[in-house]
Amino acid sequence: EAHRNPFDQALRLVGGRFVGVESDAGQLRQALAGESVAGVFYTFSWFNTGHALSLAEVASIAHEMEKPVIVDAAAEIPPVGHLRRFIDEGADLVAFSGGKALCGPQASGVILGRDPALIAACATNDSPNMSVGRGMKAGKEEIVGLVKAIELYLARDHDADLILWEGRVEQLLNAASTVPGVTAWRQMPFGEGQQIPHAAISWDEQALRCTYEQVIDTLSDGRPRIAVQFIQESVYRFASETGPQIRLHPHTLAEGEAQIVADRLQDALRGSSPGR
């Protein structure tokens, strides 16, 4: 149950049904004893902040019950080691997004696995076969782009990337911190994947006389358009504990763009008109 999230709908669309269990080994073992249970769907995500059994423990129990473990790790890199880690911990299939940190085609993804039968099942349900995956088929362009993106990602200097990102986050925090009433801090995503630092910003809307929506619209309406991540309770359950905040991510920026974002953010927080 700690892993439930809005993306569960993807499984329901192809006829899957969830059998919920709490983070308890006994409950998991009992649920897996059911003949209609196909396996375990295990999710790694920064927005699933509840307690859950470890993947290694879940995999051990599932394999004892002769059921596979499928891991949704769409955004779980960096670190690069995660491309092997989940398989090493017992997962039978692991799905990663081809976009996000891999920087490949956004309409692509990669499935890694240890079980030839499950890999074959993935192929059976994908193009060019006439099954549920036909409508989501990947073109040759996406396939080539994804393979090249993986090659480039594995060859990157990941330590240098982190240094670059930290510098951009510092720029953004320095700009936001000059506005009275604004709290700005460096933050890492919850969990162990997608370990890219970002700038988080919050404020008292009444004190600043400026809502989160107003700041977001000001940044979006300006030139160049600037998109930020809005953490709010209607989308993210954990926001009921943290309160609303805006997050700015450095890894999508090109050289020199961090300063542009920093200046525009400062203006937006002060109530200035967006740049044109």
Q: Alpha-carbon distance 220 to 14, whole Å?
A: 36
CA-to-CA distance for 146 and 149, rounded, in angstroms? Answer: 5
Would you state the CATH architecture of domain 6-155?
Answer: 3-Layer(aba) Sandwich (3.40)
Domain locations in the chain as residue ranges: 6-155, 158-269
| Cis before 128? omega within 30 | yes
pLDDT at position 207: 87
Q: String of b and e for 213-237 (b: at least 16 CB within 10 Å)?
A: eebbebbeebeeebebebbeeeebe
Q: Where are the beta strands (DSSP E) in the chain?
A: 40-43, 69-72, 93-97, 109-113, 182-187, 198-203, 229-231, 245-248
Query: Could you read off the pLDDT tens digit of each residue along the chain, which spans 276 residues?
Result: 777 777 888 888 888 888 888 888 999 999 999 888 989 999 887 777 778 899 999 999 999 999 999 999 988 999 999 999 999 999 999 999 999 989 999 989 999 998 889 988 888 877 677 777 777 777 889 999 999 999 999 999 999 999 999 999 999 999 999 999 999 999 998 877 788 999 999 999 988 888 999 999 999 999 999 999 998 888 777 777 888 999 999 998 999 999 999 999 999 998 844 443
For residue 24, what are the CA distances in angstroms to 20, 52, 91?
11, 8, 18
Q: Which fold has domain 158-269?
A: Aspartate Aminotransferase, domain 1 (3.90.1150)
How far is CA 43 from each of CA 7, 22, 48, 93, rounded to the nearest angstrom? Answer: 10, 14, 8, 12
